[in-house]
Structure 1
Amino acid sequence: MLRVSDVSVSFGGVRALDGVSFEVPEGQVCGVIGPNGAGKTTLFDVVSGLRRPNAGRVSVAGEDLTRASALRRARRGLRRTFQRTQVFGRLTVAGNVLAALDWHGGGGGLVADLVGRPARRRLERERRARVDEVLELCGLTALRDAYAAALPVGQRRLVELARALADRPRLLLLDEPTSGLDAEQTARLRAVVAAQETTVLLVEHDMGFVMDACDRLVVLDLGRVIATGPPDEVREDPVVRAAYLG
């Protein structure tokens, strides 16, 4: 589903990513780990289209999206959460999730809105049913009418997750998803990730979560990949232990 090929990014004389290559098979959960400054967030920015690499390619489902905008990648089914939560504070929790579906439009334009065509009403019911489904999955049903700005960081992070899931992404990027979550919310997140059929790429410092949730790991250090493989194998790698886990 995701192929990163020889990607390099430089900031002046600093090489943030240096020839990074790895693949994530469809349906798998892949964790990206490494010490601070290893290049994890830069990698996420490249994959999601917020930053173009100086060299290399990014492909999703066989399509080269290296020069595609973040918007085009979103239209191809890529969704992302952020290390610092990005919610629509003036919308309710349900409104935040519904916003992820509105880009599809309803057909018929303003006239259809005014006369309430049956097809438009059916589509609206389907979207609201999807919102209800995702809110239940993320444990947010009781907060559906609360304004997102009023929520603590852990609940805002779950709202962001629900919004990312609403449109059934093909590739989901989660940037430090457990940050700000309590133990119950982290367990909920783990269950949500496990229940998804989509491909997931996540950056996370919680090693317990990473080892439980991920099928494979990519380890970065100083902008380079130093190990890839199943969590148990990576955990025992002496190079990884020296650079990060030791």
Structure 2
Amino acid sequence: MLAVDGVSVAFGGVRALDEVTFEVGRGAVCGVIGPNGAGKTTLFDVVSGLRRPGEGRVLLDGHDVTGMPAVRRARAGVRRTFQRTQVFGRLTVAANVLAALDWHGGGGGLAADLVGWPARRRLERERRERVAEVLELCGLTALRDAYAAALPVGQRRLVELARALADRPRLLLLDEPTSGLDAGQSARLGEVVRALETTVLLVEHDMGFVMDTCDRIVVLDLGKVIATGTPAEVREDPVVRAAYLG
């Protein structure tokens, strides 16, 4: 589903990413780990379209999307959460999630709004059913009418996850998804991620979560890939242990 091919990004004389290459199979959960400054967030910016690499390519389902802007990638099925929560504070939890579906439009224009066109009503019902489904999946049903700004950071992060899932993404990018979550919420998040049928790429510092949740792991250090493999292989890799896990 995702191929990162020889991607390099430089900031002045510093190479934040240095010929990074890896693949993520369809439906797999792949973790990206590494010390601070390893290039993890820069990699997410490149994959999501917020930053164009100086060298290399990004392919989504075999199609080169390197020059595709972030909005087009989002509409092609790439969804992302951020290290710092990005919710609409003045909207309810349900409205935050519903907002992810609004770009599709309602069909029929203003006339359909005025006359209550049946197709418009059906579409609205389907969207609200999807919102309810995602809120249940993320354990947020009881908070559907709460305003996002009033929630603690852990619950806001779950709102972000629900919003990212609402439009059934092909590729889901999760940046530090357990940050601010308590143990129960982290466990619920792991269950949700493992149950998804979509492809997931996540950056995370909680090694227990990564080892329990991911099928494969990519290890970055100073912008370079120093190891890839299953959780067991990465855990026992002496280079990884010396650079990060040790």
> Which residue type is aligned with residue 55 of structure 2?
A
Q: 1:114: which partner in 2?
A: 114
Report how far residue 182 of structure 1 moved: 0.2
The reply to whether residue 84 of structure 1 matches residue 62 of structure 2 is no
In the TM superposition, residue 195 of structure 1 has moved relative to its aligned partner by 1.0
Distance 1:168 1:179 in 2: 23
Aligned to 1:141: 141
**Deviation for aligned residue 1:63:** 1.1
Distance 2:52 2:21 in 1: 15
CA distance in 2, matches of 1:238, 1:101: 45
| Structure 1 spans left out of the alignment, 5+ residues | none
Q: Aligned partners of 2:63 and 2:108: how far apart in 1?
A: 31
* Aligned: 1:184 with 2:184: yes
Provide Cα deviations, 1:209-239, integer angstroms capped at 9, x if missing partner.
0000000000000000000010100110000
Q: C-alpha displacement at 1:106, in angstroms?
A: 1.3
In 2, distance between residues paired with 1:25 and 1:195?
Answer: 16
Q: Identify the residue that residue 157 of structure 1 maps to in structure 2.
A: 157
Structure 2 residue aligned with 1:221: 221
Question: Partners in 2 of 1:166 and 1:108 — Cα distance?
Answer: 23
Moved beyond 6 Å, runs of 4+: none
In the alignment, which residue of structure 2 is the partner of 1:63?
63
SS at match of 2:243: helix
User: How far does residue 109 in structure 1 lie from its aligned partner after superposition?
Assistant: 0.5
Partner of residue 50, structure 2: 50
The residue type equivalent to 1:56 in the other structure is G
Deviation at 1:156, TM superposition (A): 0.2
* Residue 242 (structure 2) aligns with: 242
Please state if 1:34 is matched with 2:43: no
Query: What TM-score results when the alignment is normalised by the length of structure 1?
Result: 0.99
Secondary structure of the corresponding residue to residue 120 of structure 1: helix
The aligned counterpart of 1:168 is: 168
For 1:19, give the aligned amino acid: E
**What's the TM-score once normalised by structure 2's chain length?**
0.99
Q: Deviations over 1:31-81 (max 9, x none)?
A: 000000000000000000111100000011111110110000001100000
- Counterpart residue identity of residue 86, structure 1: Q
Q: Which residue of 1 aligns with 2:205?
A: 205
SS at match of 2:87: coil
- Please list the CA deviations of residues 74-111 of structure 1 after superposition, one character each: whole Å capped at 9, or x if unmatched: 01100000000000111100000000011111111111
> In 1, distance between residues paired with 2:142 and 2:238?
47
Equivalent position amino acid for 1:138 in 2: C
For the residues of structure 2 that align with 1:223 and 1:172, how far apart are their CA atoms? 22
- In the aligned structure 1, how far is the partner of 2:79 from the partner of 2:102? 15
How much is the aligned-residue C-alpha RMSD, in angstroms? 0.4
Residue type of the partner of 1:166?
A
AA of the residue aligned to 2:27:
G
* Distance apart, 1:26 and its partner CA: 0.3
**2:95 — aligned with what?**
95
Percent of aligned pairs sharing the same letter: 85
Q: Distance in 1 between matches of 2:102 and 2:37?
A: 37
Q: Which residue of 1 aligns with 2:13?
A: 13
Provide Cα deviations, 1:101-154, integer angstroms capped at 9, x if missing partner: 111111111110111110000000000000000000101001000110111000
